Structure 1
Amino acid sequence: MTDHATPHEPAALAEAPAGTPAEAATETLAEAPAGTPAEIPAVPGAETPAETPAETPEEHEARLARRSARRRAAARWATATLVFALTGTGAALAVTAPERTDLPGLATPGDGRYTFPPLTLPPLPSGSGAPDRTGGKNALHAADLRYLLLPAPKEAGGSLTPALYPVPTTSATGTPSASATPSPTASAPASASASASASAGASPSTAPAGQAPADWVTCDAILADQRDPAELRALLLRDACRAATVREWTASDGTRTQIRLLRFGASFESWNVFSSLRSDARPNALPGAKSTSHSAWDTVEGVHLDAQESTAKGAKGTPTGRVAYLCASDLVAVVTMTNPDGVPDAAFRQVVTLQSDLLA
């Protein structure tokens, strides 16, 4: 234990002699009017903070000038950022909005393919279904034969509007036949057989929007395309071709395309004609014809294909004539494309593949 008093004891203040700083501070606090801040006396030895010198007019103007410059710099950067953002957005829209092939430097060189409208299948008569791809009892196409032909592309003046087909009113057995049996005298080209549409029951009012219906022609109109038609004529008589139609166009690149469709009463009859055409046919468009490989093509299930080309080459280095024979159930299609400068590979493959899609 110690006898020393602690600093917090009241006796310390009481014992302080008069005139000491503690007494002076107490007296000053006591004399301060109520409600006014008490003036704290300066403590001896404490440093008094230096007063801030008054700002001169020149310094004030300089400070305002610096502040104004900072604001202008911030506004310029904000404007530049906004301009860059708008420019980037506009460039992105300009690149993504148009087709890639329409952009300079990104356009793919044309390979000869055409622009077709979206393909649609015609409606089937009531109670009819799609043909059986296995070649069974129901392996017959019930749709209107004219609407199973590929439409003309944009490059040949065709419309890009999807076709709207009329509702069929007859069954497959009631489909008009251009020629029940081939006529030996009807060997005129298809373009000269327009009168057959009247006897076939074709009506201009049934044309789908965006394209004209194909022409009904006699079955033996295909004989005009052959250098030796006698054997094919006998085959058409034996297997009884039921109906035929054709569509032709000439594209802007000079390539002429003709597609013929022949309908038979059974799958084995169409197969007989298909087999004879691919092995024995001698089309006028293909002098010195030879078979060509199509193993890399996207073949369509249920459609048999055989492709041939002429040995003569055009200025483009491609064959001047190409022919494809297709067989799908009861239908046989013959696609013929000719061009003195050469038929583009891509165009031929495209037309054959799309025609196969319609038949499948």
Structure 2
Amino acid sequence: MSDQQTAPPAAAPALAGVGGTAESVAAEEPGAAVTGVEAIPGPVDAPGAPAHPVAVQDPVLSADPGAPAPVPPPRDRRRLRAALRWTSAVLVFAVLGGATAYAVTLPRRTDVPGLETPDDGRWTYPALRLPKLPAGAPRAYAGDRNPGGVHYADLRALLLPAARGAKVDRSFDGKDGWLPTARFIDAFEEADRKGLAERLPQAGLRHIAARAWDMPDGTRTEIYLLQFISAPYAEEGRFDMTTIAELSGAPIKVLDQDWKRGMTFPGDMSVSTYSEDKPRGREHVRSAFIVSGDTIAVIAMSKAGTQPAVPFHQTVLLQSQLLG
């Protein structure tokens, strides 16, 4: 291909100014006759002869009555198509506008009798985020990379945040976020505290992170995360807390019949939920023990009268997800 570029053809001279019509253009050309419809150039006579004007007959007026109507010029057809498009657009917008106006006047689903979604008592929690791990450290359920189920993340960052609208009990923050073991043991019946204080250190308890809050309806929630030196020691600690000790206010507990059995959890995580057996005292206590590798989560929820199952189960599931 040649390196030289062909110069573009020169633009044609303007025939009319802005807004000029075909009729005005034709009238300015010599030797052209103009009618109301179109201009047809006249014949050229011999040199020196006077010009003879040519009579042009209007095709519309001279057409036979039975002849078909003449086809409009292309310019008229373009105007017709443009008008049709604009008319269609106006109709479409009118329909959409009417539909929108109708939709916004419809009642909400919750306002229609029989279609409202009743509140099942679920709480609203902040968005959950898994904490960052130390460089190269695997998560608790990383298969062969972490066969002991060790939680390398900061245990305090694995605590479930308080539900929205709750009043947080700051006394559970402890020193540097770690709860003293004696404070945790106080959560159990007085007769069981001495034995538990002896057993937990023997089971290799390292430290405890805890959080507690009170909801406007009077529900009290306490969550404890206990980390042991290994998963077998954690299992031993769970055995002690569920067999030789009982949480305060719930001297007799039974398996939670409202808990849905058969739910699956990561790895060998085990979740056991309990409910205070009848006859109950002033408060109804529900509790859960989650064993996740080297860590045990103890959840206690209480309320005067009856403690609903829904927020309790929701809290247990969310805490399980953070440990998984």
Range class of TM-score, shorter chain: 0.5 to 0.7
Instruction: Please say if residues 141 and 266 of structure 2, whose CA atoms lie closer than 8 Å, have aligned partners that are also in contact.
Output: no
Change (3 A) 1:251 1:131: same
Render the CA deviation track for 1:62-106: whole Å, top value 9, x for unaligned: xxxxxxxxxxxxx9xx9999666424224546879xxx88x4234
Instruction: Please say if residues 160 and 318 of structure 2, whose CA atoms lie closer than 8 Å, have aligned partners that are also in contact.
Output: yes
- Which amino acid is 1:245 matched to? A
Render the CA deviation track for 1:252-288: whole Å, top value 9, x for unaligned: 2221100001111111110001122223321113143
SS in structure 2 opposite 1:129? coil
- Which amino acid is 2:202 matched to? R
Deviation at 1:131, TM superposition (A): 1.6
* Cα RMSD, aligned residues only: 3.5
The 5-angstrom pairing of residues 3-14 of structure 1 reads: none
Separation in 2, partners of 1:263, 1:321: 24
Deviation at 1:111, TM superposition (A): 1.3
Change (3 A) 1:90 1:157: farther
Deviation at 1:313, TM superposition (A): 7.5
Aligned residue number for residue 117 of structure 2: 108
Change (3 A) 1:279 1:92: farther
Deviation at 1:223, TM superposition (A): 0.9
Give TM-score, length-normalised by structure 2: 0.62
Deviation at 1:355, TM superposition (A): 0.4
Separation in 2, partners of 1:117, 1:94: 33
Aligned residue number for residue 348 of structure 1: 312
2:97 counterpart of 1:86: yes
Match of 1:146 among 122, 133, 156: 156
Instruction: Please say if residues 298 and 353 of structure 1, whose CA atoms lie closer than 8 Å, have aligned partners that are also in contact.
Output: no
Separation in 2, partners of 1:95, 1:147: 46
Instruction: Please say if residues 278 and 306 of structure 1, whose CA atoms lie closer than 8 Å, have aligned partners that are also in contact.
Output: no
Change (3 A) 1:157 1:357: same
- For structure 2, the residue ranges without an aligned partner over 5 or more in a row are 1-54, 58-86
- For structure 1, the residue ranges without an aligned partner over 5 or more in a row are 1-34, 38-74, 159-189, 203-214
The 5-angstrom pairing of residues 231-246 of structure 1 reads: 231-246=195-210
Instruction: Please say if residues 149 and 261 of structure 1, whose CA atoms lie closer than 8 Å, have aligned partners that are also in contact.
Output: yes
Match of 1:258 among 222, 232, 240: 222
Separation in 2, partners of 1:88, 1:268: 65
Change (3 A) 1:115 1:313: farther
Instruction: Please say if residues 220 and 236 of structure 1, whose CA atoms lie closer than 8 Å, have aligned partners that are also in contact.
Output: no
Change (3 A) 1:285 1:137: same
The share of aligned pairs that are identical, in percent, is: 28
Instruction: Please say if residues 220 and 302 of structure 2, whose CA atoms lie closer than 8 Å, have aligned partners that are also in contact.
Output: yes
Deviation at 1:132, TM superposition (A): 3.7
The 5-angstrom pairing of residues 204-219 of structure 1 reads: 215-219=177-181
2:258 counterpart of 1:285: no
- Which amino acid is 1:86 matched to? G
- Which amino acid is 1:223 matched to? I
Instruction: Please say if residues 285 and 321 of structure 1, whose CA atoms lie closer than 8 Å, have aligned partners that are also in contact.
Output: yes
Separation in 2, partners of 1:95, 1:281: 57
Number of positions where the alignment pairs a residue of Structure 1 with one of Structure 2: 232
Render the CA deviation track for 1:121-146: whole Å, top value 9, x for unaligned: 00001121112466964421011111
The 5-angstrom pairing of residues 167-182 of structure 1 reads: none
Change (3 A) 1:104 1:220: same
- Which amino acid is 2:182 matched to? D
SS in structure 2 opposite 1:112? coil
Separation in 2, partners of 1:82, 1:224: 70
Q: Which has the larger radius of gyration?
A: 1
Aligned residue number for residue 126 of structure 1: 135
The 5-angstrom pairing of residues 53-64 of structure 1 reads: none
Deviation at 1:296, TM superposition (A): 3.3
Change (3 A) 1:341 1:130: same
Separation in 1, partners of 2:92, 2:301: 58
Instruction: Please say if residues 300 and 353 of structure 1, whose CA atoms lie closer than 8 Å, have aligned partners that are also in contact.
Output: no
Deviation at 1:234, TM superposition (A): 1.6
2:194 counterpart of 1:230: yes
Deviation at 1:331, TM superposition (A): 0.3
SS in structure 2 opposite 1:216? coil
- Which amino acid is 2:207 matched to? A
Change (3 A) 1:256 1:121: same
Match of 1:328 among 266, 284, 292: 292
Instruction: Please say if residues 148 and 231 of structure 2, whose CA atoms lie closer than 8 Å, have aligned partners that are also in contact.
Output: no
Separation in 2, partners of 1:342, 1:80: 60
Change (3 A) 1:130 1:282: same
Higher strand share: 2
Separation in 2, partners of 1:284, 1:277: 12
Change (3 A) 1:138 1:312: closer
